[in-house]
Homo-oligomer: A and B are copies of this chain.
């Protein structure tokens, strides 16, 4: 079945030694042009391709990096992946992508499995469950073995390796501030991602902004849960009771659901209520109306992570030279907020 040809077979067919073939195929100066030509032509004819496995075994380098993604349906992660992929390809690296589905076990298993010669390094985002458990031994083990890791998005302090993050608190702060600058007075906070960074830091930034502008947080204007279940009802109830005129949503789904509720209640966006989201993905872009939101430059995050990892793999950076890179975010104004004439 497997018809792939090896240098051994070429050597046999052409009555030369294996090493001659190897050298000829690598265009070594040691081999005569004539022999080279003969060998290369034969190789081409028979579609010879070097066995990557054998090469990797030899070089102790696989030119592959392992990517750990908690959830590929998350648009942010998909975009990070794209960024990684771009840089990896440019630098001649393959990527092997693994999805943990936010599971601790899956994460441990895959990382164990890959760290046995299959990959030269990891770019990982820690799963929700692992984060909750707080058990990072697998990361420590792998680092100890000398395999470099770059963490992105979710980055516990306990793990001593390179990290790429967005300053979510600041981003949330900016988003909330924007609402206040467009003269919203009762700004609600909605999150369906309570367990994640985005939920935690989003709230932090939101509160920080309120404090800065001397607004007292109102408990009933803050909706926090870790799934979208029952969110619609909660939002409706909040609107029934309170004169909300600004909403800060942490994740895209919250933003979308809020918009659905508002549209159904015939509330005008942004005339009656403004919305700003902390996540800028397709839902925000294609919502009716399109939602103003904070763009977290996922693509850049991926690029930085990949560049850093490959530099480390190739020894351009010392293994112990560990760095945290903070990717800037940017508020993208769309139609869910009033135009501001005073820029700040």
Instruction: Show the binding face of A for B, using Cβ within 8 Å.
Output: 1-4, 47, 49-54, 56-57, 60, 62, 64, 72-73, 75, 78-79, 81-82, 85, 89, 94-99, 106, 110, 112-118, 141, 144-147, 252-253, 256-257, 259-260, 263-264, 282-283, 286-290, 319
How many subunits of this chain does the assembly comprise? 2
A62's nearest neighbour on chain B, judged by CB, is: B53
Q: How far is the CA of A1 from the CA of B146 in the complex (A)?
A: 5
Enumerate chain B residues within 8 angstroms of A79, measured Cβ to Cβ: 73
A256 CB contact (under 8 Å) in B3, B73, B286 = B286
Contacts of A57 in B (CB 8 A): 51, 53-54, 57
Could you say which residues of chain B place their CB within 8 Å of the CB of A60? 2
| Residues of chain B contacted by A260 (CB below 8 angstroms) | 286-290
| A47 / chain B contacts, CB cutoff of 8 Å | 141, 145
Task: Assess whether A50 is in contact with B116, with CB atoms less than 8 Å apart.
Answer: yes
Query: Which chain B residues border A141 with CB–CB below 8 Å?
Result: 47
Contact of A89 among B56, B81, B106, B146 (CB under 8 A): B106
Chain B's nearest CB lies how many Å from the CB of A37?
23
A113 to B117, CA, bound (A): 18
Do A81 and B98 touch (CB < 8 A)?
Answer: no
Extra 14 A-B pairs, beta carbons < 8 Å, given A2-B145, A264-B288: A2-B146, A4-B117, A4-B145, A47-B141, A52-B118, A53-B62, A53-B116, A53-B117, A72-B82, A94-B113, A256-B286, A257-B286, A263-B263, A282-B282
A-B pairs with the 5 shortest C-beta distances? A256-B286, A97-B97, A1-B146, A263-B288, A96-B96
**Which residue from chain B places its CB closest to the CB of A67 in the assembled complex?**
B97
In the bound complex, do residue B62 and residue A73 qualify as a contact, i.e. CB atoms below 8 Å apart? no
**A-B residue pairs in contact (CB < 8 Å), sample of 22:** A1-B319, A4-B117, A47-B141, A49-B116, A52-B113, A52-B118, A53-B62, A53-B118, A54-B57, A54-B117, A64-B96, A72-B81, A73-B78, A73-B82, A82-B99, A94-B118, A256-B288, A260-B287, A260-B290, A263-B263, A287-B288, A288-B288
Contact residues in B for A252 (Cβ distance below 8 Å): 286
